[in-house]
Amino acid sequence: MRASPGARDNVRMRLLVVEDEPKMAELLSRALREESYAVDVAGRGEDALWMAGATPYDAIVLDVTLPGIDGLETCRRLRASGCWIPVLILTARDAVADRVAGLDTGADDYLTKPFSLSELLARLRALTRRVPQERPVDLRAGDLWLDPAAHRAWRGESELDLSAREFALLELFLRRPGQTLTRGQLLDGAWDMAYEARSNIVDVYVGYLRQKVDRPFGRASLETVRNVGYRLRSDGG
């Protein structure tokens, strides 16, 4: 879904604004276009879902109150469909329950109406922040290596077929070879907030990763550090 960062460096960032009130939608899209974002507008959550499936937006600004499915349900369905475009929720109600609900759906951030334009822009910059323009260097431990820009990884000559989550985990390990990473660090680095409650998910995914980067090659690079977490051997196993 996501194009390689290198291919997009010169492309304007594209946002999807989901807001049913015409005045607010117009205000938002005009302000964002002035900041040189490309902006599409959807008035319904149902429309936002297919639009997000068809276009690799850099971020989605999603109002909670919509006709049909609301913003929270829209976000939930986006995530359920495997769409991980950053989502900024707009909520009119300054209620804690709403905020929690927003983040529980897999939203990345929220803003309470009324908000200032400068605050919205700052949040969007944070959500769409890219790695620096220069191509990141390959990460390597022995013959296990990963190209963050191309989003590809190899064991020796064999390219590894990793899910997005497995890739994120391997990248975390390869950024700190030889160091023990706690489950909390791995969760923070590779998962969204919504997953925090599932405490064994790190163990499950380290297991998946071993099946792909170690077992087929008769290696053992990912070591369990009892009661703490995991460590990637700096020699690649």
63 belongs to the binding site for Ca ion (CB under 5 A): yes
Alpha helical stretches, state H, 35-116: 45-54, 71-80, 96-104
- Our CB check for Ca ion shows the closer of 17 and 172 to be 17
Are 212 and 162 spatial neighbours (Cβ–Cβ below 8 Å)?
Answer: yes
Of 15-23, 141-149, 184-192, 200-208, the segment contacting Ca ion by CB under 5 A is 15-23
Interface with Ca ion, residue 20, by CB under 5 A = yes
Helix (H, G, I), strand (E, B) or coil at 65: coil
Question: Which region, judged by CB under 5 A, interacts with Ca ion, from 63-71, 95-103, 185-193, 211-219?
Answer: 63-71
Q: Is 98 in the site for Ca ion (CB under 5 A)?
A: no
Taking contact as CB under 5 A, which single stretch among the options 14-22, 194-202, 211-219, 222-230 is the one that binds Ca ion? 14-22
Per the listing, tokens 């359920």 go with 80
Q: What strand order describes the sheet that includes 152-155?
A: 139-141, 144-147, 152-155, 158-159
Residue 65 in contact with Ca ion, rule: CB under 5 A: yes
Query: Distance of CA 126 to CAs 59, 109, 113, 181, 225, Å?
Result: 10, 10, 19, 25, 34
Strands (E) located in 142-221: 144-147, 152-155, 158-159, 180-182
Piece of the chain touching Ca ion by CB under 5 A; list 6-14, 62-70, 187-195, 207-215:
62-70
Find tokens 């609900």 and name the residue.
101
- Give the nearer residue to Ca ion in terms of CB position, either 61 or 139: 61
With respect to Ca ion, which residue has the nearer C-beta, 91 or 221?
91
Q: Which is nearer to Ca ion, 68 or 216 (CB)?
A: 68
CB of 21 to Ca ion, least distance (A): 5
Q: Count the residues of the shown chain that bind Ca ion, applying the rule CB under 5 A.
A: 4
Instruction: Compare residues 42 and 162 and give the one whose CB is closer to Ca ion.
Output: 42
Let me know: does 226 contact 190? Beta carbons within 8 Å: no
